[in-house]
Amino acid sequence: MEVDGRVAIVTGGGTGIGRAVGVRLAKAGAAAVVVNYSRSEDEANATVHEIESLGAKAHAHKADVSDESQVVAMIDETVKRFGRLDILVNNAGTTRYIPHANLDELTEDVWNEILGVNLKGTFYCCRAAAPELRKQKGAIVNVASVGGHRAVGSSIPYGVSKAGILQLTRALALALAPDVRVNSVSPGQVSTRWYRQRFGDEATVALETSIAEGTPLKAIATPDQVAQAVMALVENDIVTGQDLVVDGGRMAGYA
């Protein structure tokens, strides 16, 4: 799939992986990128400016993807503003840090928040975008996680939500074929500001170093490296229903 002249929506697009995807799309010739955000308005606007500096149009759109009415409005505004929609990258996500053995902290509110954004939000975006994507023979890439493959990660609901995204990706690849391709990427540890904000610089460096040493490539991914994987799935016209793990090779056989 040629990206030149295409219009994309990237949810959670203001920071981290989402920002890197938007920039990659602009560099590849996308005509316009809608940068979705729910809280990070300043970061979303900064991403818009960076995308525009690369020659593409861009627009920051505030929407909570767990609210279907806001998702539908975002899709409608995108098509009204830019005339089409070709690419959807579902990157918006949330989690809570809860030890897996601590079942009592997994309240209904925790489950509802994490599943609402990560899984239901991904579905809402796919469903709302599907009619426009069908018209353009478009592509969807969902951001899952190695936590959806293995019992690791920040909490049980997070892993369950990401496992759900993997199955949703496979199901939608069949449901939307042959008009729309649907794939996912599963990052392992990614070097983003999120960990530094939570744990501080020193603890984050120690964590990332430890995880990197447990990978065959002795490295963890950057947001841009995850964005590379997203772009590979956007651009390859024969791949659908697949998940691409981006974890330095750890899942190939390392614990």
> What is the per-residue pLDDT across 172-181, written as a single tens digit (0 to 9) for each?
999 999 999 9
**Which positions are annotated as active-site residues?**
158
If we measure between CA atoms, which residue out of 34, 26, 30, 33 comes closest to residue 2? Answer: 30
Say what the pLDDT of residue 114 is: 98
Say what the pLDDT of residue 182 is: 99
Over residues 47-75, the mean pLDDT reads 98
CB 32, CB 84: distance < 8 Å: no
Phi, psi (rounded to 5 degrees) for 169:
-60, -45
201 pLDDT tier (thresholds 50, 70, 90) = low
Residue ranges with strand state E in 70-147: 87-90, 139-143
94 pLDDT tier (thresholds 50, 70, 90) = very high
Cis status, amide bond into 223, omega within 30 of 0 = no
Strand partners, 221: 190
Q: Vertex 92, ends 81 and 190: CA angle to 5°? A: 130
Over residues 72-96, the mean pLDDT reads 98
Residue 37 has pLDDT above 60, yes or no: yes
Over residues 197-219, the mean pLDDT reads 79
Residue 195 has pLDDT above 90, yes or no: no
Q: How far apart are the first and last CA of the chain?
A: 36
Find the length of the chain.
255
Say what the pLDDT of residue 254 is: 56
Question: Tokens for 99?
Answer: 């030890």
pTM for this model (two decimals): 0.94
CB 207, CB 195: distance < 8 Å: yes
Relative to beta strand 32-37, strand 7-10 is parallel
Residue 158 has pLDDT above 80, yes or no: yes
The one-letter code for the residue type at 129 is A
Whether domain 7-247 has CATH 3.40.720.10: no
197 pLDDT tier (thresholds 50, 70, 90) = low
The one-letter code for the residue type at 54 is L
Residue 30 has pLDDT above 60, yes or no: yes
38 pLDDT tier (thresholds 50, 70, 90) = very high
DSSP 8-state assignment for residue 34: E
Say what the pLDDT of residue 203 is: 72
Over residues 114-143, the mean pLDDT reads 98
Over the stretch 121-133, which tens digit does the pLDDT of each residue have? 999 999 999 999 9
Question: Tokens for 142?
Answer: 């969902």
Over residues 137-158, the mean pLDDT reads 96
Going by C-beta distance under 8 Å and a sequence separation of 6 or more, which residues neighbour residue 65? 11, 36, 38, 71, 90, 92, 117, 121, 122, 124, 125
